[in-house]
Amino acid sequence: MEIISKLTGCGSYLPQNVVTNSDLAKKIDTSDEWIFSRTGIKQRHYAAVGENTSDLALIAAERALSHAGVTGQDVDLIVVGTTTPDRTFPATAVKVQKNIGCVRGAAFDVQAVCSGFIFALSIVDSMLKTGQFKTALVIGADTLSRLLNWEDRTTAVLFGDGAGAVVVQAVEVDTRSRNEDGILSTHIHSDGNLENLLYCDGGPSTTQTSGFITMAGKEIFRHAVTNLASVVMEALAANNLKGSDIDWLVPHQANKRIIDSTVKKLKMPKDKVVLTVQDHANTSAASIPLALDQAVCEGRIQQGDLLLMEAMGGGLTWGAALARWG
Ligand code: ACO
């Protein structure tokens, strides 16, 4: 017998306030045509004043628990991927732990910017497979609207707020069937030499502020296309699979042109890609579980479907995960 980790439920939350490209054009020198043609974004959601990352994360977590048919008391591991914690410390995950009524196990945050969900999933997959934990919540939650520099129209139009969560459970299976179910593999990478291409120019140890997003857009675009192609091929090769074996690509939703490039590399039909960037913009660590939850709720992703998830973000960080749903 062997332990595998299975995705058994999902949930998400988007703040009520919807801001369209045309709304932004009333505030800064931009247009719907410029934003949509370069990114595929039409609108984004912004958290209300007083609505914090942990509030978004909590609703997504509660929905995922209910979908999986478990309660906060069943959970013994919570990992939140976030770049915008409520406080410098403690972790947003411990706030979620308290608010779902979980009184045991471990809860902590992971900082890998837009790759935060994939990094968190990878850590949880490894921890569940040790046999030490049984039921985990993996959450991606961010309020990047709080880090926008309204003097920089190139970055200000790209981001939105949201949260998504999955329940991941350890299950014992026959060793022979271990490659057929649950999370098949995860692949994560970083390159700190590229830190200055995308960063937030503040922090507790430097400016004692959270700062604003700064990005070299064209270079980030180029690295995203290269690194995502490389990591999805790595994930497929590790499992002896090809693009046509994938039922759904659930990519990080930063830019439709970056997603199109990965789809072309995988030789996948476009109707097998979950696309939410038009409605959510880039919600950083939340974007993959938000897209996953939308496709599951709409009945497009079905039990047993093979999912390929991928992301790249500041750091640079990038990664991919292959998993069967349900
Ligand atoms: N509205 C109107 N005009 C704008 C805007 C705007 N919001 N922003 C920039 N411009 C102008 C520029 O001033 C420039 O004008 P100029 O030619 O008169 O100087 C012109 O548009 C072109 O600017 P570029 O910066 O060269 O625009 P580019 O074609 O590179 O597109 C973009 C910018 C969309 C940011 C692109 O580089 C990109 O998508 N990069 C990837 C970034 C990304 O997705 N980051 C997310 C985080 S990382 C991740 O999640 C993968």
Q: Please indicate, yes or no, whether residues 210 and 122 belong to a single structural domain of this protein.
A: no
Q: How confident is the model at residue 178 (pLDDT cuts 50, 70, 90)?
A: low
Q: Please indicate, yes or no, whether residues 119 and 16 belong to a single structural domain of this protein.
A: yes
Ligand 1 site, residue 20, Cβ cutoff 6 A:
no
Residue whose CA is at the smallest distance from ligand 1 atom 10: 154
Q: Is-catalytic flag, 282?
A: yes
Say yes or no to pLDDT of 272 above 90.
yes
Say yes or no to pLDDT of 132 above 90.
yes
Q: Please indicate, yes or no, whether residues 166 and 45 belong to a single structural domain of this protein.
A: yes
Active-site residue identified among 114, 227, 255, 280: 114
Q: How confident is the model at residue 174 (pLDDT cuts 50, 70, 90)?
A: confident
**Does the CA dihedral 229-230-231-232 come out positive or negative?**
positive
Say yes or no to pLDDT of 175 above 90.
no
- Domains identified in the chain, total number: 2
Helix (H, G, I), strand (E, B) or coil at 268: coil
Ligand 1 site, residue 157, Cβ cutoff 6 A:
yes
Q: How far apart are the CA of 223 and the centre of ligand 1, in A?
A: 15
Q: Please indicate, yes or no, whether residues 149 and 32 belong to a single structural domain of this protein.
A: yes
Q: How confident is the model at residue 176 (pLDDT cuts 50, 70, 90)?
A: low
Q: Which of 115-124, 131-140, 176-185, 264-273 shows the lowest mean pLDDT across its residues?
A: 176-185
Q: Please indicate, yes or no, whether residues 15 and 147 belong to a single structural domain of this protein.
A: yes
pLDDT digits (tens, 9 = 90+) for 190-203: 999 999 999 999 99
Buried b (16+ CB within 10 A) or exposed e, 166-181: bbbbbeebeeeeeeeb
Q: Please indicate, yes or no, whether residues 227 and 279 belong to a single structural domain of this protein.
A: yes
Listed residues 176, 201, 219: the one ending a domain = 176
255 CA closest ligand 1 atom index: 44
* Residue matched to tokens 């507790």: 204
- For helices 287-297 and 116-129, give the axis angle rounded to 10 degrees: 80
Buried b (16+ CB within 10 A) or exposed e, 20-33: ebeebbeeeebebe
Say yes or no to pLDDT of 54 above 70.
yes
Say yes or no to pLDDT of 260 above 80.
yes
| pTM score | 0.97
Domain residues for the domain of 85 are 2-176
Say yes or no to pLDDT of 136 above 90.
yes
Q: How far apart are the CA of 283 and the centre of ligand 1, in A?
A: 17
Q: What's the confidence (pLDDT) of residue 280?
A: 98
Q: Please indicate, yes or no, whether residues 235 and 312 belong to a single structural domain of this protein.
A: yes
DSSP string of 188-214, one letter each residue: EEE-GGGGGGEEES-BTTTTSB---EE
Distance between CA atoms of 114 and 93, rounded to whole angstroms?
17
Q: Is-catalytic flag, 200?
A: no
Residue whose CA is at the smallest distance from ligand 1 atom 6: 30
Say how far residue 166 (Cα) sits from the centre of its chain.
Answer: 11
Distance between CA atoms of 267 and 224, rounded to whole angstroms?
18
Q: How far apart are the CA of 310 and the centre of ligand 1, in A?
A: 22
Listed residues 176, 193, 217: the one ending a domain = 176
Say yes or no to pLDDT of 40 above 80.
yes
Q: How does the average pLDDT of the chain come out, rounded?
A: 96
Q: Is-catalytic flag, 102?
A: no
Q: How confident is the model at residue 177 (pLDDT cuts 50, 70, 90)?
A: low
pLDDT digits (tens, 9 = 90+) for 85-111: 999 999 999 999 999 999 899 999 999
Mean of the pLDDT values across residues 138-157?
Answer: 97
If one residue of 83, 114, 154 were mutated to test the ligand 1 pocket, choosing by the most ligand atoms within 8 A of its CB, it would be 154
Q: Please indicate, yes or no, whether residues 282 and 164 belong to a single structural domain of this protein.
A: no
Mean of the pLDDT values across residues 194-218?
Answer: 96
Percent of the chain with pLDDT over 70: 99
Q: Please indicate, yes or no, whether residues 220 and 158 belong to a single structural domain of this protein.
A: no
CATH code for position 230:
3.40.47.10
Residue whose CA is at the smallest distance from ligand 1 atom 26: 218
Q: Please indicate, yes or no, whether residues 117 and 171 belong to a single structural domain of this protein.
A: yes
Q: How confident is the model at residue 258 (pLDDT cuts 50, 70, 90)?
A: very high
Q: Please indicate, yes or no, whether residues 202 and 151 belong to a single structural domain of this protein.
A: no
Ligand 1 site, residue 254, Cβ cutoff 6 A:
yes
Listed residues 176, 207, 229: the one ending a domain = 176
Say yes or no to pLDDT of 151 above 80.
yes
pLDDT digits (tens, 9 = 90+) for 238-251: 999 999 999 999 99
